[in-house]
Amino acid sequence: MTATAVALGSALLAPPSQATTTPTMVVIGDSITWRGDNIPGSTNRGWWSYLGRELELRIIRHAERGSGFGKRGKAADGTSVCGGSTFYGRLARPEVAADVKTARLVIVAGGVNDMYRCVYRNGAWSQVPTTEGQLKRDVHRTMLRLAELRPTRRSSVYITAPYGPYAAGAAAKTWIVPLIKAEALAAGFRYVDTSRGTLDGDRTDDGVHPNYAGNLRLFHDLYVYGVMARWGAGVTDYSRGDVASPPAPTGQPYDPDSR
């Protein structure tokens, strides 16, 4: 971004003079998106920050820790494991819907938490294992809501399911990722695979959340394999797939700060 941005809540806002003219990038996600900062040169910089800067888009995040397509996130203060919302629940909010409708680019990133869902029993929320049928319904209605909000601009909606080498989620991953991919493509959205290789090796510190190298690689894989350069702020002809030249894969994370 060319002007100093101000972080406010979950959204990154440009100064008033720029906010009305800078196209936006909306990201809906879990803790992989909730974490990180927007400070160039920071080792804690989020993948979404690299992407927003590269595309010169104003970043708006609607992310909650522990959330997913069918899994409610944690409460804002982290005290309740099911005190937040699902991706669908966020899309049902008028302010989030307005953001999604007007964005240049929309990214939904999640899935690792969807091995569970939240149920309310005896006056309290608790997590229980989900089923394939239940999650399919949750993912499907999320895609329907996205399609409703962007009926003529589905090609600029990207779905991805980032997974690291999280042993406890390995079995569920084998059916969760294909389910999300199938529903995304059926809805006419773009799917970018970040469930294999992107966060492997030493790119997480806990098997789930990307570290410095992981955030760089996640940005790189989405930008390159999603051909996201076409949605940059300076692009006017969206019909061309070669409107800009994305960096070629080198096996190393692409860092725009190094240019």
The whole-number pLDDT of residue 2 equals 39
Structure tokens at 196: 């294999």
Residue 22: closest CA among 245, 232, 250: 232
Which is nearest to 251 in space by CA: 194, 191, 197, 192? 197
Res 29: pLDDT: 98
Averaged pLDDT, groups of 10, the chain, 259 residues long: 36 52 95 95 96 96 97 88 96 98 97 96 92 97 97 96 94 97 97 96 95 97 96 74 39 40
Q: Please answer whether residues 125 and 178 qualify as being in contact, where contact means their C-beta atoms are separated by less than 8 angstroms.
A: no
Phi and psi at residue 204, to the nearest 5°: -135, 160
The SS3 assignment for 22 reads coil
Query: In the prediction, which pLDDT does 242 show?
Result: 37
Which pTM was predicted? 0.85
Which DSSP string corresponds to 49-98? HHHHHHHT-EEEEEE-TT--SSS----TTS--TTSS--HHHHHTSHHHHH
Residue of 119, 252, 109 whose CA lies nearest to 193: 109
Report the C-alpha gap between 171 and 218 in whole angstroms: 22
| Chain mean position to CA 195 | 13
